[in-house]
């Protein structure tokens, strides 16, 4: 089978290097050898890819009449599967700085060794047509534990799509049926922008037009670690989140926790009342609009933002509710047929030579990614992960959510300047 489909709903706006996640498992039961586990992982992966076949394709980056275009060629070329062993590396050592199931402080060189790319050392845009879109490495640690790393192309999948695939793969590993059937469509419905769509339409307030050439420059600039920035993990217990919800009815865990972190980051940055502060967030529109089913394989994340003066956020001493209210209203407006349709017209114009993204000043913005609803700690047939880690360079104003090891707990990876990070604190809620 071979056909070409639009690479994602909003592929151009997600020009990034490959993204990497690592899962760590303790030593499996004695009757399960590493070789047997790898064999089961491979065979179940092959079965899962029958349903998720775009992952086994290749990304075609080409110049159209008006600029850059990206398509996935579904040609069954396969994913890259790497087997390895790590001498002198134990789960206990990796977990010495654990934060609710998230391993901090792993040396960068070791992370690279645990998440290799084979012959594809530089995975960036323009993406080589030879490069796989999904890379998996299974490493046996010296303690008998196992590390599974997944490296994925963000033009193909968003976070929800990636973790749905990982969960489905884990289910097949355990001899189960996939709990959520994947849905592949050649052109994402309701999202594709018509050929006669004008390029000079008026942008909504708070968006800026960026040409593809500039996006390419952004994607290829160095993302090496800098002493100027730090990224740390913070854990929020289920009981604390529930307490916030009881005291502030009508808001979701996401709205309240994001508002709480937003306010603390503003304080750590010493923002003044007359400054404008922004939260840029992603929302998964799977199952929320009729044309994007829950099992949609691809990019179904829509980005938007809320901006306000710091003084408005702090008004009447109710910063938590004020921030949550802004987020609730914006998300409600966005996750509608009309809201997603407008977003697709604004952002999905990559093959016309430009795209549009939310405006934000890095030093006063908080940019969210990932979700604490992702199914991270899934059983692959030899036990559930005891930890994971996020591979991402430290950047100012980044926030990544993941579930904690205990059900209902939330872990936030936060990146700030070193100065602001030293001042960041989270009082009891």
Mean predicted lDDT score pLDDT of the chain: 84
pLDDT at 46: 98
309 versus 124: the higher-pLDDT residue is: 309
- Write down the CATH superfamily of domain 207-423: Chloramphenicol acetyltransferase-like domain (3.30.559.10)
Copy the structure tokens of residue 198.
Answer: 């004008």
pLDDT band at 119 (very low <50, low <70, confident <90, very high): confident
C-alpha to C-alpha distance for 46 and 84, rounded to whole angstroms? 19
What is 3-173's CATH number, 3.90.180.10, 3.40.50.720, 3.30.559.10, 3.20.20.70?
A: 3.30.559.10
Strands in 387-391's sheet, in edge-to-edge order, are: 80-86, 134-141, 146-152, 19-25, 387-391, 102-103, 98-99
Distance CA 305, CA 322 (A): 15
Say if CB 371 and CB 159 are below 8 A apart. yes
| pLDDT tens by residue, 88-99 | 999 999 999 999
Confidence band (pLDDT; 50, 70, 90) for 20?
A: confident
Q: Which residues contact 107 (CB under 8 A, 6 or more apart)?
A: none
Q: Is the pLDDT of residue 8 over 70?
A: no
- pLDDT tens per residue, range 140-182: 999 999 999 999 888 788 899 999 999 999 999 999 999 999 9
Cβ atoms of 374 and 159 within 8 Å: the answer is: yes
Q: Is residue 115's pLDDT more than 50?
A: yes
Quick check: do 3-173 and 207-423 share a fold? yes
Q: What is the pLDDT of residues 100-111, one digit of tens each?
A: 999 999 998 999
Say what the pLDDT of residue 324 is. Answer: 98
**DSSP readout, 257-293?**
HHHHHHHHHHHHTT--TTSEEEEEEEEE-TTTSTTS-
Q: How far apart are CA 302 and CA 146, in angstroms?
A: 35
- pLDDT tens-digit map of 282-326: 888 888 877 788 999 988 887 788 999 999 999 988 999 999 999
Cα–Cα distance for residue pair 150/136, rounded to 1 Å: 5
**What are the residue ranges spanned by the domains of the chain?**
3-173, 207-423
pLDDT at 341 > cutoff 90: no
pLDDT band at 357 (very low <50, low <70, confident <90, very high): low
From CA 136, how far away is CA 114, in angstroms rounded?
A: 10
CA–CA gap between residue 317 and residue 335 (Å, rounded): 30
pLDDT at residue 252 is higher than 80: yes
Residues 14, 156: contact at Cβ < 8 Å?
Answer: no
Low-confidence winner among 17-21, 191-195, 280-284, 410-414 (lowest mean pLDDT): 191-195
| HSE of 237, CA atoms in CB hemisphere, 13 A | 6
Whether residue 207 has pLDDT greater than 80: no
Query: What integer pLDDT is reported at residue 224 of this predicted model?
Result: 44
Q: Are 70 and 61 contacting, i.e. CB atoms less than 8 angstroms apart?
A: yes
pLDDT bracket for residue 197 (50, 70, 90): very low
Question: Exposed e or buried b for every residue in 3-21, given b needs 16+ CB within 10 A?
Answer: eebbbbbbbbbbbbbbbbb
């Amino acid at each position: 089978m071979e056909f070409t489909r639009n690479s994602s709903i909003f592929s151009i706006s997600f020009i990034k290097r490959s993204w990497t996640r690592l899962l760590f498992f303790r030593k499996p039961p004695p009757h399960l050898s590493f070789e047997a586990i790898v064999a089961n992982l491979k065979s179940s992966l092959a079965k899962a890819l029958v349903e998720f076949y775009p992952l086994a394709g290749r990304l075609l980056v080409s110049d159209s009449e008006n600029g850059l275009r990206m398509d996935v060629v579904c040609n069954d070329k396969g994913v890259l599967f790497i087997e390895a062993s790590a001498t002198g590396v134990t789960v206990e050592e990796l977990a010495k700085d654990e934060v609710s199931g998230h391993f901090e402080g792993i040396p960068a060189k070791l992370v690279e060794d645990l998440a290799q790319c084979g012959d594809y050392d530089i995975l960036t845009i323009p993406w080589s047509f030879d490069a796989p879109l999904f890379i998996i490495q299974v490493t046996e640690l010296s303690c008998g534990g196992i590390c599974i790393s997944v490296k994925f192309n963000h033009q193909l999948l968003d976070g929800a799509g990636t973790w749905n695939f990982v969960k489905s793969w884990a289910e097949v590993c355990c001899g189960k049926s996939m709990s959520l059937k994947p849905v592949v469509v050649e052109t994402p419905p309701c999202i594709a922008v018509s050929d006669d769509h004008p390029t000079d339409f008026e942008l909504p307030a708070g968006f800026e037009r960026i040409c593809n050439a500039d996006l390419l420059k952004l994607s290829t600039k160095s993302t090496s670690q800098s002493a100027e920035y730090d990224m740390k993990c913070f854990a929020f217990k289920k009981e604390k989140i529930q307490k916030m919800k009881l005291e502030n009815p009508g808001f979701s865990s996401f709205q309240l926790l994001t508002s709480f972190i937003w306010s603390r980051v503003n304080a750590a940055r010493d923002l003044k009342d007359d400054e404008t502060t922004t939260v840029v967030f992603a929302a998964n529109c799977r199952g929320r609009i009729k044309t994007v089913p829950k099992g949609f394989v691809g990019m179904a994340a829509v980005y938007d933002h809320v901006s306000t003066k710091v003084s408005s956020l702090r008004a009447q001493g109710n910063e938590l509710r004020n921030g949550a209210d802004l987020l609730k209203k914006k998300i409600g407006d966005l996750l509608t047929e009309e809201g997603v349709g407008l977003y697709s017209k604004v952002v999905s114009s990559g093959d016309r030579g430009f795209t549009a993204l939310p405006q934000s000043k890095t030093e006063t913005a908080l940019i969210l990614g990932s979700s604490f609803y992702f199914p991270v700690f899934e059983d692959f047939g030899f036990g559930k992960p005891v930890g994971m880690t996020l591979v991402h360079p430290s950047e100012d104003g980044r926030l990544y959510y993941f579930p904690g090891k205990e059900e209902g707990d939330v872990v936030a990876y936060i990146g700030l300047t070193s100065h602001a990070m030293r001042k960041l604190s989270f009082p009891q809620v």
